[in-house]
Structure 1
């Protein structure tokens, strides 16, 4: 009877050890997951500042495939050589904590400008601003699509199109002047004709 109990204890310990191997992680592995998650978060923060809001604009089929591939690579890199449930939970918690931290920091105007891209005027009085399109990597086809979805029948009826911090394209039609306060932080807003702006 004693022998059976001892055998049961050994089997239980072996089973628990194998279970922990698949769902848990050691302190060293946890440190690796934490470091990789922070590094990749900061890397993508810097890359979105370099590339601009283009990465958030409505995606094409190719963009979706690229996003899936990047998600797979980043997820694997964050969780280490042998992905486990514990590593995934730690990576998600770290990402949420970083998002909360940078959200709090962005309340300060100087850090807000560093963390976030500024909104950009892309179309002024129906004319494309080619230099801004090049800088933001937005194509004329994307602008034309946004004009159509806004229900505007002609580009000449567009007062302004602004690429927002979020990657959204805001379309303003002619008829009512745009309040100057809405354009205060918009790059190239000075290129809008005076008659389209309400001071």
Structure 2
């Protein structure tokens, strides 16, 4: 029994390390070779428990990780990129459906219209392009006349207040984040005291902008 538990623990740690080494794209961008890699990792992982020679299973997982890394590198080479990753498919062009590409991609019209509405455009005539990306996500590009106005369009320069930095999370002081704004625990205590708070344990979330250094607090109540 203990041998099986140790096997599971080693297997869990190994797959976790492999997935960390493979990068975030394996978790966020589902390309064909991402799915194949996850499938084989799952299959080999389950099979290892039944394999008498545990080392064979470990080697198999390492080989899968190496193959994934190799394919990921090859996908950076321009001639191979289109084959390995794929290319975007145009589903809408100048406000008109490309029915042929919809059928080819096996993408339903109802799903397409729903995605366009979710992007904030109820009328398909407002859309310049809709692209089905290789990772399965939709890119909705509106026509210029319905594109939301930005401050840049109005020649307005906004005041940059800085990135929000969490300094307390669930009652715990985030010392590393305090260093990012060149502050320490004493500064935080003084700021909390000025706002009427004595214990950090009573604070669920506290954030400060790196430019303004104004503390915003959310308590447990």
Q: Please give the range of the TM-score, normalised by the shorter of the 2 chains.
A: 0.3 to 0.5
- TM norm structure 1: 0.48
- TM norm structure 2: 0.43
**Which of the pair is proportionally richer in strand?**
2
**Which of the pair is proportionally richer in helix?**
1
If asked which structure has higher relative contact order (CA below 8 Å, sep 6+), I would say: 1
